A and B are shown apart, each in its own frame.
Chain A
Amino acid sequence: MAEPLLSIEELVVDYGRIRALKGISLSVGQGELVAVIGSNGAGKTTMMKTISGLLKPTSGRVMFDGKPLTGVPAHRVVKLGVAQVPEGRRVFAQQTVRDNLVLGAFLRLRSGQKREVAEDTERMFSIFPRLRERQDQLAGTLSGGEQQMLAIARALLSRPKLLLLDEPSMGLAPVIIDEVFALIERLKAARDTTLLLVEQLAFRALEVADRAYVIEQGSIKLAGSAKELLANPSVQQAYLGAAATH
């Protein structure tokens, strides 16, 4: 098997005084869509932030495209080809939709790819027609679903080899979640970006993913193909607890 695009080895991360990740290992192959599922507070976001360089691991390694990511500051990780759609979307609320997209392409614009970025922006607008309509609006005035789309478009504009999607469903109504997941399936079908999806809504994530890991209390509890996991009752137990006695 070819070298995976991303591999995480025995990653331990302390968040203040909390040990948020207790030594997890996983890998994402080129072109795959891998989901990491688990309930709130399981350590999913910590893992994402460590990959993207916002948090420093206590021990363990993150390898990307044959190079270590551990200890690389966040703004350089982007340069290496990893983009993150952060939890809670985090669009720049006080800047316009278009400016948010410009910021997504920050590094490319600084290295003079003005024309290519303009083309890519145009492509984003055709994928997300609502962003085109609202390009001059402040991002903070968009609805939650629109902001999620903007955050994804913004991340894609850095032309990442690996896209990290952190909780894209958070705080969105079910109909909008359908739209977001339809988009994720589209990205997957295009197969030019590898995707690592962290999601609380396990069934949703498992329906689109190739493979998945179940993370609970900072450790990986289950791993396997998405299909297997979908049929595995332990997944639900990881969320709603062991069967109650009363």
Chain B
Amino acid sequence: MGTGAPRPSVLRRLAPLLLLLPLLIPRAVDNSYYVGMVSRILVYAMLVASLDLVVGYLGDVSIGHAGLFAIGAYTVAVLTASPTLNTDAYSTIQHWPQLPFLIALVPAIALAAFAGFLLGFPALRSSGPYLAVITIVYGLIIYTFINEQESLTNGTKGITLTPLHLGTLKLSGVNYLYVVYPVLVLVLFVVHNVTHSFWGRAFEAIKYSSVAAECCGIGRSYFKVSAFVLSAAVAGVAGGFFAQLDSYVAPNTFAYSFSVEFLIALIFGGVRSIAGNVVGAALVVVLPDLFAGFADYRLMVYGSLLLVVLYFVPEGMVGLVRRAWLRLRPPDHAAERASLEAQAAGLEVLSRPHPGGDAMALRLEGLEMKFGGLIAVRDLDLEVPRGAVRGLIGPNGSGKSTTVNVLTGLYTPTAGRLYSFGQDLAPLKTHQRARAGIARTFQNLQLFGDLTVLENVMVGLHPSFQASLFEVAFRLPRARREEAEARVRAYALLRFVGLQPAAFDKARNLAYGQARLLEIARALALSPKLLLLDEPAAGLTAGEIQSINGLIQKIKAAGVSILLIEHHMDMVMAMSDDVSVLDFGKKIAEGTPKRIQEDPAVVEAYLGTHKTSSVVV
């Protein structure tokens, strides 16, 4: 990150050279056993990083990554194994071509990625305990397959490989470090770039609130399946290199407990952190060694360690260190802020929507929404003229939120039509409606808690990114430029709502009133033509409501049409051009605020019938 930061110092530029240091390990440590352990840590770190993509960023627990790892390892093993090393009556391995390692790695990655693709689909529909069982079962199926398919995998006897060599130079043992380390750096570089781009933000947005993510224009299915594919591909790379680590693979390595161990490693090191991934991998490798005398107790130590970590340091070792570090040296964003401030000044944040199309920003015709026998909205006609603010009010349970959910495509209405500027919305999915210019805020805040305020707005800018995954993964110019532009634009949006002082805070640390403003800023990031504000004043103080009022006027002045759902009547009456009133899913009144306040049907819906005295106006 820090693309908007000023020119880094010479020292910072030299920092990447530190990456070369581990290559000196074989020289410094004159013990091939320990060097071998380092190579193992490096391979495992890739696997932990792969797990982190799914668990840490996407928020889905996978207890089956050993299976994906196995696919990588076995593909390489089967395609590179030499017949002479695996002479066995049952083995049919000699039928396979003896491919060079690097070439065998390609199908290994491809097969693992395909397995990840298949795993991604159930993950679209199931979550929590349901998804956990799918991943476990998935791992077990792969494990059973490599165990039983002896003609392909040599069964429990495993496959012995020829150690890697380059000409006469043997790349096994100590030298294997030189092979694995560059790969690890490359893999982590790619993972880091992806997770710190609009891709990573999309993953995290889906984790915190897939509904909010879709309302920011993120195609949930696409990104979710992609995360699984990416993660599996990385697991495949790790598996491929694992096969050459001992030049031997056997099914028992890839059992269920292996998946669990790596999950523990991930949590121990700390999710969403490359350093954490390496630390976690080190745990898996070093701990049994530390306990060499009592190797039997290893798993007890793992289990207890995990409980302690979960209880006392849920952010993991790296998180712990980071927290301590930040306490010592609070982050200084002054330079980046100044740069963003300079670039954001004068930037037009709300481009006036193009005229053209139907004059109605929103038109509902005969909308009906049934849940089983319950009719939440019935025969609703509603219009929001271009550039107008339309208030939508009604007592609790009158169907307001249902209407918003139908508009954003979360529910498919049981009858009726909806149009925005003449465009039929029915065929559009939630994220497509967001891209078509319909943005919303949420009554119960749906912010992405661990992202910064600035990044939350950048999630709203998601549809503006054009760079391909390849460009993102290798930080090619277009990816870098778009990221930098988005930061500036996001900052400008924060200025628009007055939240720029909190730009670098975590969204979860915002005060309630600020969080409401952030919801609006994120919605505005979509450059909406129509903005749905779902109770923007709920829980706010009078002063905060005043500033939201001012903001609504500014947004309206920029030509954005607004549907305002709100209980706070002073606000609705002051802001709306016209107000529609729902009761029991039906529209009972419509008109100017003044007429609505005097409408007997409205008074009755809100205050009840009145037998003893006449309606007071």
Contacts and interface: CB of A to CB of B under 8 A. Distances in A.
Any A–B CB pair closer than 8 Å: yes
Nearest to A17: B512
Contacts of A243: 594, 597
Interface in A154-204: 167, 169-171, 173-174, 177, 200-204
Contacts of B569: 39, 239-241
A169 B608 CA distance: 9
B607 A41 contact: no
A69 to B, nearest CB: 25
Given A170-B396, A231-B613, A242-B573, A205 B539 contact: no
Contacts of B572: 241
Contacts of B610: 203, 207, 230
A181 to B, nearest CB: 9
A246 interface: yes
A40 B401 CA distance: 14
A131 to B, nearest CB: 21
Contacts of A173: 584
B573 A201 contact: no
A241 B573 contact: yes
A170 to B, nearest CB: 6
Contact of B397 (A17, A171, A174, A244): A171
Contacts of A232: 616
B12 interface: no
Contact of A40 (B396, B573, B596): B396
A233 B613 CA distance: 12
B542 interface: yes
B515 A17 contact: yes
B538 A236 contact: no
B592 A201 contact: no
Given A233-B616, A241-B597, A174 B570 contact: no
Interface string B584-617: 1000000011101100001100111111110011
A217 B566 CA distance: 13
Nearest to B578: A246
Contacts of A19: 539, 541
Contact of B395 (A20, A40, A230, A244): A40
A18 interface: yes
Contacts of B577: 246
B15 interface: no
A28 B539 CA distance: 27
A201 B593 contact: no
A111 interface: no
Contact of A236 (B395, B571, B616): B616
Contacts of A244: 573-574, 592-594, 596-597
B511 interface: yes
Contacts of A169: 608
Determine the interface band of chain A, counting residues with CB < 8 A from chain B.
35 or more
Contact of A241 (B539, B570, B607): B570
Nearest to A232: B616
A19 B541 CA distance: 9
A246 B594 contact: yes
Nearest to A174: B609
B603 A236 contact: yes
Nearest to A169: B608
A205 B397 contact: no
B573 A202 contact: no
A40 B605 CA distance: 12
Contacts of B573: 240-242, 244
B567 interface: yes
A93 to B, nearest CB: 13
B395 A245 contact: no
B446 to A, nearest CB: 13
A220 B569 CA distance: 17
Interface string B506-540: 00000110010000000000000000000100110
A177 B608 contact: yes
A201 B608 contact: yes
A200 B395 contact: yes
B512 A230 contact: no
A16 B513 CA distance: 12
Interface string A14-34: 011111100000000000000
Interface in B39-90: none
A65 to B, nearest CB: 31
Interface in A209-246: 217, 230-233, 235-236, 239-246
Contacts of B542: 217
A203 B603 CA distance: 10
B567 A203 contact: no
Contacts of A174: 609
B58 to A, nearest CB: 25
A41 to B, nearest CB: 5
B607 A201 contact: yes
A39 B567 contact: yes
Contacts of B567: 39-41
A14 B56 CA distance: 31
Contacts of A41: 535, 538-539, 567-568
A17 B447 CA distance: 13
A86 to B, nearest CB: 14
Closest 3 CB pairs of A and B: A241-B569, A201-B608, A244-B593
8 contacts: A17-B539, A20-B539, A201-B607, A207-B611, A217-B568, A240-B596, A240-B597, A246-B593
Interface of A: 15-20, 39-41, 167, 169-171, 173-174, 177, 200-205, 207, 217, 230-233, 235-236, 239-246
